[in-house]
Each structure stands twice: as structure tokens, then as C-alpha cells.
Structure 1
Amino acid sequence: MAQKKNNNVKFYELESFLSSVNQNDIPPLVLIYGEPYLIRESFKIISAFLLGSEQNRFAIETLEGGSVSMGDIIEQVSTFSFLVSKKIVAVKNIPLFQAQQGGPEIGFSPADLDHFMNFIEKGIPENHFLILTTPHIDKRKKIYKTIADMGLVIDGSVATGARKADVDEQRSVLQTVAGKILTRYKKTMDNQAFNSLVELTGFNMELFAQNLEKLVVYSGNNRTVSITDVKAVIIRDKKDPIFNLTNAFMEKNVTKTLFYLNSLFNEGFHPLQILKSFENLIRKLILVKSFTRQFSQNHTINFKNINFNSFKQTVMPKVIQHDERTKSDITARNEYLSKQDPNDKKPLKKKKETSNDLFLAPNSKNPYPVFQVFQKSENFSFIELNHALFFLSDLDYQLKSSSVDAVTKIECFIIKSCSKGGFEYAQENKNRRHHI
């Protein structure tokens, strides 16, 4: 049995840990959790170590968590094979930490968990191993504590936040993944090429590893993967997919918006990146609606039906005036705030540049994008946009402070915002919102 201090191992320590122990030191129960890519890589390493020279496809029995009963799992682990002397039963995505919600495919009952804990406490048959994988765990639950005491836990989790510490951890993980792939092919990769690949791929280990494999093949006999290779093989423009998403949303096209959302997640975009794009869009639309309210007091105009030439002649000059006043107000405010007290000897901090989000037309020489935003703003009421901003503000708080299903939340936001009935949120959630 492995020593108590080694019952929890980070994925990047796994190979080093296994090199320091014997097969007999590894408990027959293993739990791997975290990122899907790291789970698969950890499973390959631990299963190869446990089977040793007896590498045989009949030695591994794979079960799908959520569609297999606890009784079936225990039966499979307890059943001896006539073909191999060592046997691994792998249960993928086992819902050990989800509460049962009435359906047979969601979670296990308390009786199931008690039955399982009794089974592993009595002991798994000799030369039989049970490997469980799951994206998330709950260390407060008794089942986790039992597994941690009796088995080996491999931690493949990675911080998913947007703080510097989280981003640094993500980058470190990608460096580890890159190191293993490059070592396998006896190649290296310079920093410029690595930085470019990370920028193009984002924190998506599946995509990152696939792209790196392509680069290794493309580099041929060269020992180093270069920035030239990255530019030649890996192509992705982060702006265009985001533009497609927000443009479909402004059109209130649910199908297209969900399609582009799914595409962005598949390409490795973080939920907070997408959330920020929606926040910027909603703020821009609110800014436009505020302007059109003032404009419509003196002009009877339907922005949805106006043509581009009329917009340039009648509306664009007012837009430019609005932005000039805004810029003047910001400059005056900054000058006032920058006045230093004669008794204060501290050097003044450098002023931040004014954000383009405060302007209706950041590039007034190109009025057509402004025209499009004005037209599509007619698809939303002022109240709808305010409700949407409240929702996004709350979701931002939840993503940074707790564990929520970001994909489902954003999908629901899109469906409700693009529906004919309009988006309502603030009033019905006023007691649950996080006011500052």
C-alpha cells in the first residue's frame, strides 16, 4: 500500500511518483479527476504501470459512468478473467459526487455509496484494479474521504479563472504538455513559437496537443519547432469568431448564436472571455439606446429602416458631437483628479488611456459598423438590455466565486435574450443578486 503522504498526487508528479514505488505499493483503487486531457494521459500512465509487462487489451474493462449501476461496477471488479492475470476496471465520468435526482442515470443513492464503501473497505480482489475518473470532486463528502484513505487520488485539475495566478498555472500546464510531446519526438520549441501557439490556441489542452502534433510533423527533420512553422500551420483569428457570435446575437438569431458559442468553446475560449464580450456588447447597446432616446426627441426616425446615406448625413454628425463631448468630459475629469496637493510628495501615477467602450464611434472615419449597431439596437428595448446587464453582472460574480455550469448559463442567457417575450431578470432575482 502506498504511504499516506502519497495518496494524493498532481498529474505532473505522477511519473516521478511511480518511479519511486513498486507495483505492490499502489492501492487497487485509483481516482483521477480534473481536465479531460490530463485524465486520459494520467490513465495511460497509471494503467501501463499497473499492468507492467502484461499489456493486453483484454486486461482493461471500460464502463461508462452514469449508465452503469453500482452493482455492475462491483460485479465487474470482483469477476476474475480467464484471459489475463491482472485486470483493470475503468469507470469513466463516474457520478460519485452528484446527488441522485430521480433518474437512474444521474448520481448514486446513499445506499449505493454505502455499498461501494463497504466493498472497498473489505478489499478489492488481488491483481484487480478499479480506476475511477470524473471531472469534479467534492472533498467534503464521505465517499471522497474513503477513497483518499484507501486509494490513490490523481489530481488533474487546473485553475480556470482569469487572475494572473490562474493564467500562470494554465501556462505552466501547457508547458508540461508541450515538453512531453516534444520529448517523445526528440524535438524542442523556442519561446517565440510556444507563445504564439498559446495565443492562437488558448487554454484548450486537446486543441493545443493536436496542434503541436501537427507542428512536429510539419517541422520534418528540423530539431526545433519554430515561429515560422506555427504561422504556416496554425491559423486562428480570435476577433472574427467573437464578432460572429455578437453579430448573430444582435440579430436575435438563437440558432446561429448558439452555433458560434459552441464553436468558441470548442476552440478553447474561456467562459469569462465570452462573458466579457457580451458585457461589452450590452453596454454598447445601452449607450446607443441612451443616445437614440435623446436624438428622437427632436427627430422622428426609425433606425431599422433608415438607409446608410441618410444615417451618415443626419445621425453621424450628432454621434461625432456626442463622442467629442464625452472625450472633453473625461479629459476635464482626469485633469481635476490629477491635480496634486502641494504637500503630497508622491509622484503622480500615469493616466490610463480612455476606453473606446465609452464612445459610440471609436473610429468615426468608418461609419458603417456604427450604422449596423444602431440598426440592430432596435431589436432590443432599453429594459431588456438592463435586465441582460444585471444577469451578466451576477454571472460574472458567480463564475469568479463559485462553481457553476457556465456553458448552460450562457446558453440560457442567449435563448432568453433572443426570444420574442424579451429578457426579464432583475426584478425576479433582486433578492438573490449581489449588490455592491
Structure 2
Amino acid sequence: MTDIHYQDLARFLQKEGTRRAPAWPSVWLLFGEEMLYKKALEKVLAAILGDAPRHTTYEAIDGLNENVRGALERINTFSLLSDRKIVALTDARIFHSRQNLDRLWDQAARAGKAGEMKKAARLFLDFLNIHRLALDDLGGASPETVLKQSGAGDDMEWVPAVLDYCRQRGLDVPSAANPQQELQDAVERGFPAGHHLMITTDLVDKRRTLYKTIRENGLVVDCAVPKGDRKADRTVQDAALDAAVEDVLRDSGKRMDPAVRRVMYDMTGFDLRTVAASVEKLVNFIGDRHAIETADVRHALERTRRDPLYELTEAVSNRNLSQSLFFLQSLLTGGEFDHPLPLLAAITNQMRRLLVAKDFATSTFGRVWHAGCAYPQFQSQVMPAIKAFDDDLLAKIDAWDQALTPVPSSAGKKKRAGKKKSTARSDLFLAGKGRSPYPIYKTLQKAERFTHLELTEAVRQLSEADRQMKRSGLSGQLILEKVIFSICQAEQSAKPSGKAGPHRPSSRR
């Protein structure tokens, strides 16, 4: 059939449900955000089953790979009590593969640290299965070493508890059977009339034949929400968050203005479950009042958002001291970074990019650029100049390499090397290979906040901070704060004094 977005699902169900004989797909794949695909599943069940009792028409099966065969047996078994039957393979792991190992480990870690042992165990065992590891392989004195060799993340404090949970309940790594192929063959053969298979999962691999087979023979409902920071991504995120808020407010009869929601989103980040729980907490907090206000949000909620690293580098490159210090503290206390060195490296990389941008802007190639340059003009006039700037730099680097790389001649004497393929570092180039023009445009705009001397001095100070962190006993956070103060100092001194700063920096607007 096809695939649709979760926002279009209600319209599809209504249109199909008004037909005299609805032609419901025999197989449904609902993937993406857990909260969204669970709501989507409920809508599908209500549309297909109507008032029919679910205990005789619907069965949910845990989506472990070893349960795929059992789910297929049930969907092909006729019911004595109804001609309609739905079997759901919930939270399925059939698309887990080496391509998404990092995300699989991160999800297991979050569930483990949150005390969601059942979910953490499923994800952890899937991780072991992909690496062809058994629980017995982790029975030594240091299971962390085995996991680390398999590409596991650094944070393993939750692993012992999950291992104990698995052993106490007799859980084991899934068998080496091929449930993906079994499911694909079954979908191609089809199911009895009136029988429907629902598959819910957080991850899919659209390159797989299984995904394409389900899409051709059934319906795919995309419940994914982009995680990026582009304007288009944020628009989709905000729409999903607003929908979650409205679901709670509709039942409670309360009101929450957009500006108040912005404050809450800045405290929670994009986490639908946390947002829904936060609104429920606020509804109870305000009692008989009808409107949730900003003061209620700040008084009743704690900041749980985990700020991405780019928030810090953006604040520093914008020379915003208050936001830079805020995000530095947030990242160091959020548990993701236990030392400032990775943060120092990220800021250093950003300053180097700005320095390269400033080199272009002050070169003969950069004559077409100016601070007020509009984006269409940038695309048509400045981007070709940037590519020419990169090509010129590449030619110089190649010439330097060939001049400094002698090779032995056949007579034992040295001669200069012939021309060879360039291996110059890509971060020396503004455009690079496959880089989108818009981030380059924003980088050039940020570089306008600095002089060439200021950027050179910032890179020097960051290098000195790196040396101090590695060789001295000084506090790494204090060292980095000092550099941030220096980088942002000129911009701050140019601002009018006496102007009140924000209560809390907002990264969403």
C-alpha cells in the first residue's frame, strides 16, 4: 500500500471507516516515538474493532525476536468467537542491527538508569545478540571489559543491575534464528481475511527488504520526530509537544498559553513522556485556577532537559556569556560529561572554524561577502568563491607536501615525490565535501562578531587551557570558564550596562 505520517492517521482511519466494507491493511508497521506509536495503535484498534470486546479479538505479544514465530502462528489461527482478529507485536526488535548499535546502547542505558529493568534487559540482550555474545561471556570478573571491546558506551554503572535482573528471571540472548525472514515470508503470503498484524517499534531500517515488503503489502505509519536543531525540525518537535500538552489540558479543562509552554519546553527538552507528566503535575499544582502561569512552571518543575553540546558552542560563538556559562554548568552536571576536556575540544573546533571563515572573509576571494549578505545572494555568489578559496588552499597544501616529502631514487639518492592524491584535513576547508551551504552561511555571520586577532588569541588561549587541564591540578571547569570569559568579554563590554539578563537562557527560540 503506502506509508503515512502519524498526523494524517486520523484522517485516513475516518475516510476508510466510512466505507461500507473498509479495506483495512492486513499488516501495519508503526514506528518512531514510543508515546506517539502507542497512541496511534490505540486509534487503529478503535477504528478496526469498534465496540467488539478486545479480549476475544486482540492479543498483544512482547516484540522479542523469539516471539515472532508465535505471533505468526496466532495471526494465522482462526477464532471461534469472532471473524476479526488483531495480533500486535509490540516494541519489536526486528530492525535492530549494527547500523544502530550506538542508539540501542544509549536506550538501554537510559532505561537502566531510570529503573525500567524490563525494557533495559530487552535492549541489552539485543545488543549482545548483535555481537553474538551470551550472558555467560559476561560472567567473569570484568564484564565491562568485554562490553567495551564490543563498542559499548563508557557509562556502565547500570549494567550489573540489568545482568542480575536477567539472571534472576532466566532471560537469555535471543536465539540465532532468522525472525526477519520468517516475518517477511509470512507478509508476502498474506494472512486470513479479517486478520491483522500490528508491529510497533522505535527503530526501522528502510533499506531492508523486510521494511519494503511491509510497505508494499500493508501500511507504514511514521511516528518519528526529527531530533535536529533546524527550524523545520523544531517546528515538527513543537507540534508533537503541543499535541501532548493539549491531550492533558483537554481532559482537565485547564489553559496554558504558548509563552508558558516555551518555558516548560526549555526545562524538559523534547521528551513527550516527561512533558505529559509535567503538565499533569502542573494541573494538580494550580488547583482550582484555570490557567497555568510561568511562575507555576518555575516553582513546580525541575529542569530535566539534557542540553546538547552544540548549545554550548553556539553560545560561545555568539559571545553570549550568560548562556555559555549556563550550558557549561548544565552539561557538566547532567551526567553525560564527567570532565571539561570534551567541551574544551568542541569549543576549540568551533573557534578554528570561525578562524577559517575569517581567513576567507579577509582574503581576495571574500570580497563578495559582507555582513548583511542575504542567503540567496550567498548561495549564488559567495559559495562559488568559497569553493575557489578551498581549491586554492588545497593546491597550496599539495605543493607543500610534495616539497617536503622526498622519496629514495633508484640510485639511492633522494628526489622529490611526484604528484599524489591530497589527504589534507577536511576541517581546514569551509565548504568541504557534502556540507550544506546554510551552516557555512551562519558560520560566516558568527565570524563577523570577531576580529582576526581575537580569533587567533582565542585559539591560543584554548590551547593553553588544554595544556593546563592535562598537566596541572587546577579545576578544569574554572580553567574553561576563564577562557569563556575572555572570548565573550569584548562583546559583553559593548552591551549597555544595567540591562537585566534572562531568568534562564532559552535555546528553543
Pairwise TM-score range, normalised by the shorter structure: 0.5 to 0.7
Q: CA deviation at 1:105?
A: 4.9
Determine if contact 2:65/2:93 at 8 Å carries over to the other structure. no
Quick check: 1:142 aligned with 2:209?
A: yes
Query: What is the TM-score of this pair, normalised by structure 2?
Result: 0.48
Q: How does 1:12-411 map to 2 (within 5 A)?
A: 12-22=7-17, 24-57=22-55, 59-82=57-80, 86-98=84-96, 101=130, 102=132, 105=173, 112-236=179-303, 243=329, 246=332, 260-261=335-336, 279-282=342-345, 351-352=448-449, 374-375=472-473
Code of the residue aligned with 2:75 in structure 1: it is: V
Contact 1:246 1:278 in 2 (8 A): no
DSSP 3-state at the match of 1:25: coil
Q: Which runs of 5+ in 2 are unaligned?
A: 98-128, 134-171, 306-324, 374-444, 463-467, 477-509
Per-residue deviation, 1:375: 1.9
> 2:340 & 2:89 partners in 1: Cα distance?
38
Indicate conservation of the 8 Å contact 1:98/1:108, yes or no: no
Cα 1:227–1:150 shift into 2, 3 Å? same
2: CA distance, partners of 1:228 / 1:48: 39
* Alpha-carbon distance in structure 2 between the residues aligned to 1:117 and 1:67: 13
2:496 aligns with none
Greater RCO (Cα-Cα under 8 Å, separation 6 or more): 2
Counterpart Cα distance in 1 of 2:340 and 2:53: 49
Contact 1:284–1:357 (Cα < 8 Å) also in 2: no
CA RMSD of aligned residues (A): 4.6
Q: List per-residue Cα deviations over 1:395-425 (Å, max 9, x = no partner).
A: xxxxxxxxxxxxxxxxxxxxxxxxxxxxxxx
Partners of 2:66 and 2:175 within 8 A in 1: no
State how far apart, in whole Å, the 1-side matches of 2:369 and 2:193 are.
75
Contact kept in structure 2, 1:95 and 1:108, CA below 8 Å: no
CA distance in 1, matches of 2:460, 2:369: 35
Q: CA deviation at 1:131?
A: 0.7
Query: Equivalent residue of 1:63, what SS?
Result: strand
**Residue matched to 1:11:** 6
Structure 1 pair 130/197, CA: closer, same or farther in 2 (3 Å)?
Answer: same
Q: Secondary structure at the match of 1:26?
A: coil
Once the two structures are TM-superposed, the CA of residue 46 in structure 1 deviates from its matched residue by 1.4
Q: Does the aligned pair in 1 maintain the 2:3–2:219 contact within 8 Å?
A: yes
Question: 1:62-102: CA deviations, max 9, x gaps?
Answer: 22223524321211212344566543211123233345845
Tell me the distance in 2 between the aligned counterparts of 1:154 and 1:338: 50
Task: Give the whole-Å Cα distance in 2 for the aligned partners of 1:83 and 1:190.
Answer: 49
Stretches of structure 1 that go unaligned for 5 or more consecutive residues are 248-258, 262-273, 287-329, 362-369, 379-436
Given that residues 62 and 89 in structure 1 are in contact (C-alpha distance below 8 angstroms), is that contact kept between their aligned partners in structure 2? yes
Are the structure 2 counterparts of residues 39 and 27 from structure 1 closer, same or farther at C-alpha, using a change threshold of 3 Å?
same
**Which AA in structure 2 matches 1:136?**
L
Q: Deviations over 1:167-187 (max 9, x none)?
A: 332222212322333233333
Give identity over the alignment, percent: 23
For 1:218 and 1:60, the matched residues in 2 are separated by 38
Report the residue type matching 2:449 in the other structure: K
Are residues 106 and 164 of structure 1, via their aligned partners in 2, closer, same or farther at CA, if it must alter by over 3 Å? Answer: farther
Change (3 A) 1:242 1:119: same
Asked if the contact 2:33/2:202 (under 8 Å) is kept, the reply is yes
Flag the 1:359–1:82 CA change in 2: closer, same or farther, 3 A: farther
Q: Give me the whole-angstrom Cα distance separating, in 2, the residues matched to 1:242 and 1:55.
A: 54
TM-score under structure 1 normalisation? 0.55
Change (3 A) 1:345 1:71: closer
Whether the aligned pair in 2 keeps the contact of 1:37 and 1:206 (CA below 8 Å) is yes
2:66, 2:174 within 8 Å by CA — same for their partners in 1?
no
Could you tell me whether the CA contact under 8 Å between 1:51 and 1:86 is conserved in 2?
yes
What's the counterpart of residue 110 of structure 2? Answer: none
- CA–CA distance in 2 between the matches of 1:169 and 1:276? 33
Which amino acid in the other structure matches residue 27 of structure 1?
Answer: P
Q: Which amino acid aligns with 1:35?
A: E
Displacement of 1:209 after TM fit? 1.3
Shift, 1:163, TM fit:
2.9
How far did residue 227 of structure 1 move?
Answer: 1.6
